[in-house]
A and B are shown apart, each in its own frame.
Chain A
Amino acid sequence: MSEMLTKEPVRTGEQSIGGLFLAVLKRDLLLSYRCRSDLVNPLIFFLMVATLFPLGVSPEPDFLAQVAPGVVWVAALLATLLSMDSVFRSDYEDGTLEQTLLSPQPLFVVVLGKITAHWMLTGLPLALLAPLLGVMLFLPEGGMGGLMLSLLLGTPTLSLVGAIGAALTVGLRKGGVLISLLVLPLYIPVLIFGTSAVQAAVTGLPLDGYIALLGAMLALGIGLAPLAVGAALRISVSG
């Protein structure tokens, strides 16, 4: 007489959505911790742009203070873009992604966990490092708060949107260039409102409006991007 298989497989081990999210987050952070060299790559890029920019253009404090918000934001945006290709790449190559897609767990939560882990390892350090770059580029003190706040709200959106591009191109051998083409147009609104927020902070104008818009984009991203990423992953794996 059959013992276990005649009954339907049921969800044992009460695992909530939050538990799943944390499990994904923990695993991705552990994976990144095991290969730390990939971790510092975007940060070094970020620092290098800010260091080389005054050398290449002009070391004049007045001039640098004027362009600082834009330079820091563009550097952060490119650093995020640089790291985007690897989000699903290794999972795709070793077959973990197939297993994830075939699991009964909600893909939305898994994808959101992966993107959160990605942001914690790129966007968050970039935002924390930004004041240092601000000082290097003579950004007036009043703009520091605006710079950090705009980056903290803006970089998660960059990760979310970038993940859509990464998911669409993960099946291709050389997806890196294509990601930039797909995703850069969608990054532009974030860049515009991000730099405007910093400039408003520098000139002492209220920046609530810009921050609200960045927050709205982030909310929209959290709600919709994981759905798009999930669908894109299914297409990529199916091909």
Chain B
Amino acid sequence: MEICGNNTFLHSDGCCTGCEFVYNEPLNYCVGNAALKYRNKPGFRLGVGVLSEPLLTVERLFCERDDRILFDNLSFDVKQGEVVQIEGQNGSGKTTLLRILSGLSRNFEGDIYWKGDHISDVAEDFRLSLLYFGHQPGVKAILTPEENLNWYAAMHPSIDQQRIFDALEQVGLKGYEDVPCHMLSAGQNRRVSLARLYLSNARLWILDEPFTAIDKRGVAEKEALIARHAEQGGSVILTTHHELNMGDRVRRINLDKLAGTS
């Protein structure tokens, strides 16, 4: 594999003018800023090497709640293949930050960019690429696990409906497809919601305490799933009080230190 560092390199098929780097092998895989610009060209595929280009960029984020500054001047970016763990004490603003990043909360100042474009300009593309797992599992108690996932699939047109049964089997709910969720345990309800991780084609996962009420084996499986997602070029932002066994893949952002005064 040859890497060209020439900024004005012109690829033979013309797709890569101005690329920072170009992979010659396999053909049509481009990286760098210009690669993103050409991503809509037919036959053009983004290379895995796009690690240099952040998926999500956060600039000078400021959030205040009840006269208390949660974070000020918070800037970071999330690259492809990265797992970012947001740390902090209870009440330090972890959930608030995740809600801001996902687009649910608008009580903030600062800018968020999705693949270089301002998030408000590419809202639909962003939502198509986002999987958000919040405090509330988003599971209807009077529907069955299968009906719940059917609904989720209806709301997310990129999901293949065929995969629902596989996903339920993966989270250990085989045989419970037709049991109303209010008859299941709290952990099983979380599992119904986590089954979305197996369904989703989303690139960016924002997970708020995904391991709550999940047993040890389940946690290990979910960790493996998160690691696999990152290996495939996806990104994960999560909060958890659980020790992640993913080595140096995980980048940590501590809100306590950032807040300084709190």
Q: With a CB–CB cut-off of 8 A, which chain A residues contact B140?
A: 31, 90, 94, 96
Q: Which of B134, B157, B203 contacts A98 (CB 8 A)?
A: B134
Chain B interface residue count, CB cutoff 8 Å, equals 48
User: Is residue B246 within 8 Å, beta carbon to beta carbon, of the partner chain?
Assistant: no
Give 1 or 0 for each of B64-102: 1 = CB within 8 Å of chain A CB: 000000000000000000000000000000000000001
Give residues of chain B (123-180) contacting chain A, Cβ–Cβ below 8 Å.
124-125, 127-130, 132, 134-143, 147, 151-152, 154-161, 180
Q: Which of B128, B135, B138, B157 contacts A99 (CB 8 A)?
A: B138
User: Is residue B232 within 8 Å, beta carbon to beta carbon, of the partner chain?
Assistant: yes
Check B147 against A104 for contact (C-beta < 8 Å): no
Check A102 against B137 for contact (C-beta < 8 Å): no
Q: Which residues of B contact A (CB under 8 A)?
A: 39, 45-48, 102-107, 124-125, 127-130, 132, 134-143, 147, 151-152, 154-161, 180, 201-203, 229, 231-234
Check B202 against A9 for contact (C-beta < 8 Å): yes
Q: How far is the CB of B65 from chain A (nearest CB, A)?
A: 11
Q: Which of B102, B139, B201 contacts A94 (CB 8 A)?
A: B139
Q: With a CB–CB cut-off of 8 A, which chain A residues contact B152?
A: 99
Check A105 against B142 for contact (C-beta < 8 Å): no
| Residues A103 and B201 in contact in the complex (CB < 8 Å), given A1-B48, A95-B137 | no
Check A9 against B128 for contact (C-beta < 8 Å): yes
Q: With a CB–CB cut-off of 8 A, which chain B residues contact A3?
A: 232
Specify which of A4, A15, A95 lies most central, judged by the most chain B CB atoms within 10 Å of its CB: A95
Q: Which residues of A contact B (CB under 8 A)?
A: 1-13, 15, 20, 23-24, 27, 30-31, 34-35, 90, 93-96, 98-105, 110, 234, 237-239
Q: With a CB–CB cut-off of 8 A, which chain A residues contact B159?
A: 12-13
Check B134 against A101 for contact (C-beta < 8 Å): no
3 smallest beta-carbon distances between A and B, as pairs: A95-B136, A103-B155, A95-B138
| Residues A11 and B128 in contact in the complex (CB < 8 Å), given A4-B232, A93-B136, A95-B138 | yes
How many Å lie between the Cα of A101 and that of B132 in the bound state? 11
Q: With a CB–CB cut-off of 8 A, which chain B residues contact A237?
A: 104
| Residues A103 and B137 in contact in the complex (CB < 8 Å), given A6-B47, A31-B142, A98-B104 | no
How many Å lie between the Cα of A7 and that of B88 in the bound state? 34
Q: Which of B132, B154, B161, B203 contacts A20 (CB 8 A)?
A: B154
Q: With a CB–CB cut-off of 8 A, which chain A residues contact B104?
A: 98, 101-102, 237-238
Specify which of B48, B128, B134, B180 lies most central, judged by the most chain A CB atoms within 10 Å of its CB: B128
Check B47 against A99 for contact (C-beta < 8 Å): no
